[in-house]
Copies of this chain bind each other. A is one copy, B any other.
């Protein structure tokens, strides 16, 4: 039965939940396919996550391998194809809790970096799982800074082999997924040496384990790196190479080749490869970053209409915690952010598809802008969504802290997204470098990419808003974001130039501006996110109900951003103190409006109970009953040897000398 406290929340939504779901999915057909995939996977007991919160790292790994193998069978049974529309929904339904995710990365790196001959040899083997692939780039001593990798590959003309080595402990490969226990092969990145000369980082296919009995190959030391905050299912591994020989053909050689005599030849442009790395950053946003925030919002908001605590009015029933302004102010901005980032993700996907088409036509003009987009948005979205999930967790009090709420595992997992695919601070500084360059070019009248033309028009000014309602006008708040982003870029560029002109070396000057550069890059991406949200709302004009609630969410996202970063808007007086009070008033006024639709809004994300796997977040709102039922299944409720061994002697006072 449905808890009446949550049922009442669904009585009068201001919009059609189903219509919003299909909008989020991108169409009725997409919704149908997504649900069909979820149904196929969730109804299959092999994929069950029922006891996941009770499992050890070993149990999680074994379950992931079992699921990984079973998934191949399932895909075949269901007739899902590799390029079919089902693929992304399979990932969504499994929530990443499956082995062999690196198989795709292994295959993609061969497709992008390998010659046709190499593709023809390796891709079919990988596709048929005649081998299990991994991707060994990160080392103990090096992550985002690839040039610093220390693994070596020395070409031996005598045997026509590369000899791979881990020259020191910091050069060990460390973190690669599926490598600790499963993989038979990997693409390993190493500094190429020919006749004593270093040619930089190159990719090599290296066999790790026997295809017969899975024993480690000669010269290979490999294992699991142990417990992590999450990703218990994944065997992130270490790899130590001692004179491991691979044939000349195992260097991926689409862009360069080592001839039998050791001559090194470069060919073609690496730009498409560079583009692929950039695109990967964007591809993770939807499933790995935005969906976890949507799930966290669903759990926290549903719980907050069921949880009653204290009284709003004396003499009345205890209030639902979502009726408190402070709870609304924690959760509803996160909900608005989930929509904002869903829409910016759609925008980025389209932009990258367009970029890909251009690059296939050998037009690489968009590349610097796309790189800046991918770096900056990866950082902004992962940072924002991670902190959003944490806010949802904390907003559920003690019960949010139980693993059974589902929130801790969402948090510990999304946190990793701030680090992998490029550490966020470094990425923001890459975006900043692009912004500074464009700003300098724009100020000398040169043409710059479309997303940064606004930098050319930095000028002092005042926000024209006269009352709090003016701050519900997208033109007003978009302009405030634009002005502020441009001001931050411009003032940091000025500081940088001043430092250099005062005689400080360029790299030192850069370092001394990086805190502000990162801030400017964030402001730029935040501005584009607000702008894109407002433009998306505008395009919804044929769907009045949806448009209205999306407009509220867009306003909330924009005003929350101004409210919580007030300093950068007030700094040059663009927004005055009095106007900031209007922003605050409009911002707080929106909370009770959106609160009315909060449950229908998260219902529209359309997560099944199984995919949420949360005692707090289920559709029926039977929170306490479920917490109790789930807790009883915990292995901590089996008889413990602690009583006989320690408690009994203590209580019976038979411990020696006590």
Contact = CB atoms under 8 A, between A and B. Distances in A.
A210 to B, nearest CB: 10
A645 interface: yes
A130 B653 contact: yes
Nearest to A145: B310
Contact of A647 (B58, B145, B174, B214): B214
Contact of A312 (B143, B403, B507): B507
A226 interface: yes
Interface residues of A, number: 133
A645 B69 CA distance: 10
B642 A65 contact: yes
Nearest to A404: B226
Interface in A608-658: 624-625, 627-628, 630-638, 640-643, 645-651, 653, 655-658
A571 B73 CA distance: 62
Contact of A169 (B325, B330, B625, B643): B625
A148 B416 CA distance: 39
Contacts of A507: 312-314
Report copies per complex: 2
B69 A646 contact: yes
Contacts of A162: none
B640 A62 contact: yes
Interface in A415-456: 415-416, 418-420, 423, 425-426, 429
A304 B318 CA distance: 50
Nearest to A572: B577
Interface string A209-237: 00100100000000111111100000100
A276 interface: no
A89 interface: no
Contact of A226 (B226, B630, B647): B630
Contact of A567 (B580, B633, B650, B657): B580
A464 interface: no
A53 B226 CA distance: 9
Contacts of A62: 640-642, 645-646
A362 B67 CA distance: 68
A142 interface: yes
A420 B398 contact: yes
Given A73-B657, A394-B418, A227 B54 contact: yes
Q: In the complex, which of the residues A402, A418, A584 has the most CB atoms of chain B within 10 Å of its own CB atom?
A: A402
A651 B130 contact: yes
A493 interface: no
A58 B224 CA distance: 23
A255 to B, nearest CB: 24
B429 A415 contact: no
